[in-house]
């Protein structure tokens, strides 16, 4: 049983490009706009025309490293920004002029550059992390009024990324110390409930599995990427399985909550992987990194070969990658190893193996430059909404891609 190849092709660049390195781009959850964090400015682009709508300056004294849209807002967009000046800014779109933005408030506390900022799903909490090794949680208590509810200092290195669970007030943080930590509130105090160990170098990013497309009855998994060149999948360990430790990693927990490393995704990058994103539409994962490559993965189920003796089932293989520029294969097929699979029981009792497979690749997507961030986004074309990939690079370009 073999897999069909897919092609990644370039759709457009957002124009004009950023005058210097662009760190990250985030699409608004409901409006057809996208924000890009870059030197001394936040740029707002249209996802309809792909043109620049406005440039937000002031508020910060140095480059903006990260941004996050507040969920649940209607016509008036609100965005948080994290800067190299160690501050976090909250911006509100003016009601009478959508191209103007008001700098509402600054949140101070970090002692070094803010690497990541993110709103919780409920829109009442903001999490930030910094080179100062700390994670801060802020609560909105009134209009333009925030208070610090937690300062978490258990990481031993620069904290690169924070991400909220899509349903729960559960926060993941990734660090230079090679670990991922999970944080929850217990009564009135926030604390670390699990440490996910397995990566062999800096963990650059984490992202939660979206609710859409999740297996029925399952908790959201967590995907992580690292300087060690691996992408790893983590899942919460049910109570009845807590005595059965994962062979892939060591999990420590401070309050009885345990997570295990479920699988590795196929290793296709040759340098640091900086960013991963999980599609809400196709449930695919996309990754980018220092090698300038875009890789798209898909999770597929097949009968467990060790338990099936019928139908002549063949091993699942990865198909060669295809570049839209050449339409030629760049690598030979590679058999998926056991490390990249997980096994579960189907409704009929048959064992099913779920395998992540690399289904498409694009080399040098930003020329010789590194790609700092990737995200899935929705664009409107010909009256319909289509999902695209958005990459942000050291060349200052923000590029739109599709998979076919």
The per-residue pLDDT string of the chain (404 residues; one tens digit each, 9 = 90 and over) reads 334 479 999 999 999 999 999 999 999 999 999 999 998 799 999 999 999 999 999 889 899 999 999 998 877 899 999 999 999 999 999 877 767 899 989 999 999 999 999 999 999 999 999 999 999 999 999 888 999 999 999 999 999 999 999 999 999 999 999 999 999 998 889 999 999 999 999 999 999 999 988 887 788 899 999 999 999 999 998 864 444 444 445 444 445 589 999 999 999 999 999 999 999 999 999 999 999 999 999 998 875 434 433 333 333 333 333 343 333 333 333 333 334 555 555 555 566 788 899 999 999 999 999 999 999 999 987 778 899 999 999 999 999 999 99
Burial 121-159 (b: 16+ CB within 10 A, else e): beeebbbbbbbbbbbbbbebeeeeebeebbebebbeebb
Predicted pLDDT at 59: 85
Predicted local distance difference test score (pLDDT) of residue 324: 37
pLDDT per position as a tens digit, 61-102: 899 999 999 998 877 899 999 999 999 999 999 877 767 899
The pLDDT score that the predictor gives to residue 188 is 83
CB 12 within 8 A of CB 379: no
Residue 24: the pLDDT is: 97
Name the one residue in this structure whose structure tokens are 């069909």: 4
pLDDT (tens digit, 9 = 90+) per residue, 128-161?
A: 999 999 999 999 998 889 999 999 999 999 999 9
Q: Which of 235, 307, 231, 246 is nearest to 276 (CA)?
A: 231
User: Where do we find the tokens 């990754």?
Assistant: 287
Cα 363 from chain centre: 20
Region of 28 (left: φ > 0; alpha: ψ -120 to 50; beta: rest) is beta
Tell me what pLDDT residue 95 has: 76
Residue 240: helix, strand or coil by DSSP? Answer: helix
Q: What is the pLDDT of residue 256?
A: 59
User: What local confidence, expressed as pLDDT, does residue 352 receive?
Assistant: 73
The DSSP call for residue 339 is G
The whole-angstrom separation of Cα 71 and Cα 75 is 12
Question: For 326-385, where are the alpha helices, taking DSSP H only?
Answer: none
- State the burial class of residue 66 (Cβ atoms within 10 Å of its Cβ: 0-12, 13-18, 19+): buried
Q: Which residues contact 234 (CB under 8 A, 6 or more apart)?
A: 180, 196, 221, 222, 223, 224, 259, 260, 261, 262
φ, ψ for residue 40 (rounded to 5)? 60, 15
Q: How many CA atoms lie within 13 A of 157 on its CB side?
A: 13
């Amino acid at each position: 049983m073999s897999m069909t190849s897919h092609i990644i092709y370039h759709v457009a660049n957002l124009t004009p490009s950023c005058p210097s390195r662009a760190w990250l781009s985030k699409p608004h959850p409901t409006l057809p706009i996208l924000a890009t964090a870059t030197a001394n400015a936040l740029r707002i682009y249209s996802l309809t025309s792909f043109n620049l709508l406005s440039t937000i300056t002031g508020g910060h004294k140095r480059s903006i490293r990260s941004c996050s849209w507040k969920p649940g807002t209607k016509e008036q967009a609100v965005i948080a920004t994290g800067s190299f000046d160690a501050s976090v800014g909250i911006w509100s779109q003016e009601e009478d002029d959508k191209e103007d933005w008001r700098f509402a408030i600054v949140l101070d506390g970090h002692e070094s550059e803010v690497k990541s900022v993110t709103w919780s799903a409920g829109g009442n909490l903001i999490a930030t992390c910094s080179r100062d090794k700390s994670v801060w949680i802020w609560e909105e208590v009134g209009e333009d009024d925030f208070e610090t509810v937690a300062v978490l200092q258990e990481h031993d290195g620069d904290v690169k990324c924070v991400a909220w669970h899509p349903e729960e007030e559960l926060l993941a943080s990734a660090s230079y110390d090679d670990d991922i930590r999970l944080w929850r509130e217990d009564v009135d105090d926030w604390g670390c409930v699990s440490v996910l160990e397995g990566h062999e170098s800096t963990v650059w990013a984490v992202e939660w599995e979206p609710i859409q497309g999740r297996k029925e009855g399952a908790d959201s998994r967590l995907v992580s990427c690292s300087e060690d060149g691996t992408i790893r999948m983590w899942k919460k360990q049910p109570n009845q399985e807590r005595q059965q430790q994962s062979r892939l990693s060591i999990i420590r927990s401070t309050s009885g909550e345990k997570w295990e490393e479920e699988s590795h995704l196929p290793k296709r990058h040759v340098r640091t992987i900086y960013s991963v994103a999980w599609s809400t539409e196709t449930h695919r994962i996309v990754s980018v990194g220092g090698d300038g490559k875009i890789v798209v993965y898909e999770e597929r189920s097949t009968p467990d070969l060790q338990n099936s003796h019928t139908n002549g089932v063949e091993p699942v293989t990865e198909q060669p990658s295809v570049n839209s520029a050449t339409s030629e294969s760049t690598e030979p097929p590679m058999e998926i190893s056991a490390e990249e699979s997980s096994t579960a029981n189907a409704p009929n009792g048959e064992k099913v193996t779920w395998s992540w497979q690399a289904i498409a690749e694009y080399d040098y997507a930003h020329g010789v430059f590194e790609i700092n961030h990737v995200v899935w986004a929705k664009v409107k074309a010909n009256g319909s909404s289509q999902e695209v990939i958005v990459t942000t690079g050291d060349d200052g370009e923000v590029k739109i891609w599709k998979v076919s």
